[in-house]
Structure 1
Amino acid sequence: MIVLLPPSETKRDGGDGPPLRLDGLSSPALTSVRTDLVDEVVTLAADEPACLAALGLSAAQRTEVDRNATLRSAPTMPAIERYTGVLYDALDIESVSRATASRARSRLAVGSALFGLLRADDPIPAYRLSAGSKLPGSSTLAARWKPALEPELARIALDDLVVDLRSGSYAALGRLPGAVTVEVLAERADGKRSVVSHFNKAHKGRLARALAITRAEPRDAAGVAAVARRAGMRVERSGNDVTVVIEA
């Protein structure tokens, strides 16, 4: 089983790993697109106003431009430790016991606008590029990633069930028909339901942790739902769609 996470805009600084080696990352079929995007992002960072505009950043976020400028020389750390935020706080990979850490990390992957697909221990630097970013003079990131990313996801799905927790913009970079998808809905006392962003991320993080550490090996959506229920979550299932229901 592979649990495919969305990335986060926020990332830890630093790291103690060597500089980025694109040919050392998992999914080598993606190296060509990765190389082009890294080159373009580094070049764009040399023009600060253009970089801020392309990435949708304010002047107060100039440090993000600096991160991109040093993509090829900055220290790295495992991808699963680089990303921060609500989902990753709930996942809390660093607190997983030694006995289950290897299994947990082998099951976790991250969708990325810059790298396409990362496994948990792929070493990456801090960077800024979102799925909705538009690099000057280029087609959309979805148009660039789909031809390479969709076959790679399909290849992985031949051997493993994929639980796709990506948000819509990241799922658009590479679709995977047949993956188990998860939605989090808040239910009010009158029975009406709605999507709530903060709780969506937190509960997806909780589910990702439960799936990463379980000794079970879910083979379908029913198995995923069973793991979620054992973790104390209220879930419903329809086909390959799993819904986590929380109180509003």
Structure 2
Amino acid sequence: MLIVISPAKTMQPPGKAPALTVTQPRFLDQSETLITRLQKLSAKQIGKQMGISDDLAQLNHERFQEWSTPFTEKNATPAILYFRGDVYEGLDADSFKKKDFTAAQKQLRILSGLYGLLRPLDLIQAYRLEMGTKFLRGKPANLYQFWGEQLTETLNNDLAEAKTELLLNLASNEYFKALKPKSIDAEIITPAFKEEQGGQYKLISFFAKKARGLMTRFVIQNKIKTPDDLQDFHLDRYTYNKKLSTDTKPVFTRPYQTIG
């Protein structure tokens, strides 16, 4: 089983990174092409293009200007330890043991607007470039056009290398759209996580994102290989809801809890 997840807007390197055998992003040439384009934008243009505040626009203008290769452990950080946010809070890679990183490198892929398709231990530098970004001028007009078939082809190679025909989709719709589902050489399993309140089941974004990270951790640490094995997922009080589930869209529910 191979897993795909989304990146995060928030990035923060760990206080002390463990000793790991890091790798280089496989689409670094394409990343450089995008960076060259982004470096030509002013902070104001970045803010308008990305719909972000002046402070965030200035921060990312500086990031783009400072972005440089080659990536080393001095100027870059493994992706799985750099991304923060709800999904990565659930994943909690900071507490991984070496065997967990080894398993994740084989089993987990992170979709990225700038880096394409990352392995967990691929070195990256800080950025913000959401997959749904539309460029104000020039071609291609958006990142879906830029990446085209490349990510799907590489994912298929990874599936073949892992000798699996199962893809666990724990990415957001925005990022999964960068792949071509009909061309993926695997059955796609897309779990949903819902909160029960008054007899109704609702998807609450904050909780669902964290649950995706929790399930990613569960699959990696428990060597999950089949859709049936996923039904054993029970972290944070989630349980498999047979009535709401289908073979390719398992649903996990729990009693509603307040945020905070």
TM-score with structure 1 setting the length: 0.84
Give the drift of 1:13: 5.4
Counterpart amino acid of residue 92 in structure 2: D
Query: What's the counterpart of residue 67 of structure 1?
Result: 63
Secondary structure of the residue aligned to 1:198 is helix
Query: What's the counterpart of residue 181 of structure 1?
Result: 190
Query: What's the counterpart of residue 55 of structure 1?
Result: 50
Q: Distance in 1 between matches of 2:159 and 2:205?
A: 28
Change (3 A) 1:157 1:99: closer
Q: Distance in 1 between matches of 2:159 and 2:99?
A: 26
Q: Distance in 2 between matches of 1:15 and 1:54?
A: 32
Q: Distance in 2 between matches of 1:31 and 1:66?
A: 19
Q: Deviations over 1:47-84 (max 9, x none)?
A: 22111111211112121221122111681000001100
Q: Deviations over 1:15-55 (max 9, x none)?
A: 999xxxxx9323xxx455333222212332xx221111112
Is the Cα–Cα contact under 8 Å of residues 56 and 133 in structure 1 kept in the other structure? no
Counterpart amino acid of residue 229 in structure 2: G
Counterpart amino acid of residue 194 in structure 2: L
Task: Report whether the alignment pairs 1:166 with 2:167.
Answer: no
Identity of counterpart residues, as a percentage?
A: 21
Task: Report whether the alignment pairs 1:204 with 2:212.
Answer: yes
Query: What's the counterpart of residue 222 of structure 1?
Result: 228
Counterpart amino acid of residue 83 in structure 1: F
Counterpart amino acid of residue 228 in structure 2: A
Is the Cα–Cα contact under 8 Å of residues 164 and 180 in structure 1 kept in the other structure? yes
Query: What's the counterpart of residue 127 of structure 1?
Result: 127
Change (3 A) 1:194 1:241: same
Secondary structure of the residue aligned to 2:231 is helix
Secondary structure of the residue aligned to 1:24 is coil
Counterpart amino acid of residue 86 in structure 1: D
Query: What's the counterpart of residue 154 of structure 1?
Result: 156
Is the Cα–Cα contact under 8 Å of residues 13 and 81 in structure 2 kept in the other structure? no
Is the Cα–Cα contact under 8 Å of residues 105 and 120 in structure 1 kept in the other structure? yes
Is the Cα–Cα contact under 8 Å of residues 25 and 115 in structure 2 kept in the other structure? no
Query: What's the counterpart of residue 36 of structure 2?
Result: 39
Structure (1 or 2) with the greater helix fraction = 1
Change (3 A) 1:126 1:31: closer
Is the Cα–Cα contact under 8 Å of residues 42 and 71 in structure 1 kept in the other structure? no
Tell which deviates more after alignment, 30-39 or 60-69.
Answer: 30-39
Give the drift of 1:166: 0.7
Query: What's the counterpart of residue 20 of structure 2?
Result: none
Q: Distance in 1 between matches of 2:126 and 2:15?
A: 9
Counterpart amino acid of residue 188 in structure 1: Q
Q: Distance in 1 between matches of 2:100 and 2:114?
A: 29
Q: Distance in 2 between matches of 1:143 and 1:162?
A: 23
Q: Distance in 2 between matches of 1:182 and 1:238?
A: 10
Q: Distance in 1 between matches of 2:125 and 2:228?
A: 37
Q: Which runs of 5+ in 1 are unaligned?
A: 18-22
Q: Distance in 2 between matches of 1:230 and 1:91?
A: 11
Q: Which runs of 5+ in 2 are unaligned?
A: 18-22
Q: Distance in 2 between matches of 1:231 and 1:247?
A: 10
Query: What's the counterpart of residue 20 of structure 1?
Result: none
TM-score with structure 2 setting the length: 0.80
Change (3 A) 1:101 1:151: closer
Q: Deviations over 1:159-182 (max 9, x none)?
A: 333211110110111133522112
Counterpart amino acid of residue 202 in structure 1: K
